[in-house]
Amino acid sequence: MESKMFSWQMTAQDAPLQYTESPMPVPGQGEALVQVAGCGVCHTDLSFWHYGVKTKKELPLTLGHEISGTVLAGPEQWVGKNVIIPAVLPCGECELCKKGRSNMCQKQLMPGNDFNGGFASHILVPCGFLCPVPESLLSKYTLEKLSVIADAISTPYQVIRKSELEAGDFAIVIGVGGVGVYAALIAKIFGAKVLALDIDDVKLNTAKSNGVDAVLNIKGLDIKSVKEQVREIAKGLGVSRYGWKIFEMSGTKPGQELGFNLITFTSTLSVVGFTLDRTEVRLSNLMAFDAKLIGTWGCKPELYPEVVDLIASDKLKIDDFIETFPLSKINEVFQNTLKHMYTRRSVMVPGQA
């Protein structure tokens, strides 16, 4: 085994991530040493690095929580296995874990927040909830691309399950970027009629070419105009006027305000995207429409095998939504992501030249 590992560490807000070499960690009880295959760049990483959100662990810290890799050392049953590391690692024993809400475990550990994450050659992680990757899936996708399961796919999967979406429902997805596009496709797999809203035609065209029923570019439109066009689209798709399932994925104040204003009778609005901005809404709309407003946090590890099965069975195809970069270019990728220069999920690969 190599004697050293490398990582790119955050040392201060908005400062370039620093290349660092350190001794190879040795797994303790209940831990595994994973050689990182790929680590996706998430808006949460940018929230820590650029937008002032505080990490649990003091700096310096290696960011990155969307990780796939191969176990090099640890419990015998895991050594040599290809795995996905869940972005939320619960304790498995507390009240919330036992009630099926392990994603909200108050003892949870998050790579790249509570401990050093995946923008590195190796990572030391608790191994109780690792998700094995079947060989059949590796015949379809490289291991680094499967890193997006850890957050970009599993997060919308959980919230769609939580929204109680049923076949025939009208699903409206606001923002079809690196996470939102999977929400749209998973809603379609569940049998919904899906409308994608975004301000980027490239993202909308990608969603449409992958089976989304309708798209609408809302750039420059006021809320009233959007509502009118959404009603017309719903009518054209032949869906009910009631029970719309709305998924706010953009993580923006305008997106959240639009989502709330699209609520109608017995709707469910799911807030997935994160922003520090505040919105002003009339909560009585929830009462008047007998509607629901729900949040979500990551995905409980128990659901990961279901996500793996969706991809392994070819119901969900992921190649069109991923772009890989050498980990050495992470500062460039972070800057370009801030400038909205990518339409696909960026995955950083340690061994890529």
Going by C-beta distance under 8 Å and a sequence separation of 6 or more, which residues neighbour residue 280?
none
The predicted model gives 99-108 an average pLDDT of: 95
Residue 7: in which H helix or E strand, if any? strand 4-10
Q: How far apart are CA 42 and CA 64, in angstroms?
A: 8
Q: Is the pLDDT of residue 324 over 70?
A: yes
Average pLDDT (331-343) is 94
Confidence of residue 69 (pLDDT cuts 50, 70, 90): very high
CB 66 within 8 A of CB 147: yes
Going by pLDDT thresholds of 50, 70 and 90, the confidence category of residue 353 is: low
CA-to-CA distance for 125 and 300, rounded, in angstroms? 16
Residue 189 has pLDDT above 70, yes or no: yes
Q: Which pLDDT does position 276 carry in this prediction?
A: 86
Pair of tokens at residue 281: 């809404």
Q: What is the pLDDT of residue 274?
A: 87
Give pLDDT, residue 228: 98
> What would the mean pLDDT of 279-308 be, rounded to a whole number?
95
Global pTM reads 0.93
Question: How confident is the model over 172-195, as a mean pLDDT?
Answer: 96
pLDDT band at 3 (very low <50, low <70, confident <90, very high): confident
pLDDT score of 80: 97
User: Could you tell me the pLDDT band of residue 351, with boundaries at 50, 70 and 90?
Assistant: confident
pLDDT at 250 over 60: yes
Judge whether residue 174 has pLDDT over 80: yes
pLDDT at 320: 87
Share of the chain above pLDDT 70, in %: 99
Which pLDDT band holds residue 309 (cuts at 50, 70, 90)?
very high
- At 254, the amino acid letter reads P
Judge contact between 112 and 64, C-beta under 8 A.
yes
In the chain the domains, ranked by start, together with CATH numbers, are 4-151+299-349 (3.90.180.10), 154-295 (3.40.50.720)
Residue 316 has pLDDT above 90, yes or no: yes
| Per-residue pLDDT tens digits for 137-169 | 999 999 999 999 999 999 999 999 999 999 999
Helix (H, G, I), strand (E, B) or coil at 294: strand
Which amino acid does the sequence have at 340?
A: H
Separation between Cα atoms, residue 50 and residue 77, nearest integer Å: 39
Model confidence at 352, pLDDT cuts 50, 70, 90, reads: low
Terminal Cα-to-Cα distance of the chain (whole angstroms): 21
Please tell me the chain's helix, strand, coil percentages from 3-state DSSP, rounded to the nearest 5. Answer: 30, 25, 45
User: Taking residues 74-103, what's their average pLDDT?
Assistant: 96
* Whether the predicted pLDDT of 176 surpasses 90: yes
- What is the sign of the dihedral through the CA atoms of 103, 105, 106 and 109? negative
Asked if pLDDT for residue 2 goes beyond 80, the answer is no
Contact 194, 213 (CB under 8 A): yes
pLDDT of residue 1: 55
The strand pairing partners of 191, in sequence order, are none
What is the Cα–Cα distance from 160 to 44, expressed in whole angstroms?
Answer: 20
Residue with tokens 């989502």: 259
Token pair recorded at residue 159: 């919230």
Residue 36 CA to residue 278 CA, distance in Å, equals 37
Q: Is 90 exceeded by the pLDDT of residue 29?
A: yes
What does pLDDT average to over the chain?
Answer: 95
Q: Which strands, in side-by-side order, build the sheet including 18-23? A: 18-23, 4-10, 61-62
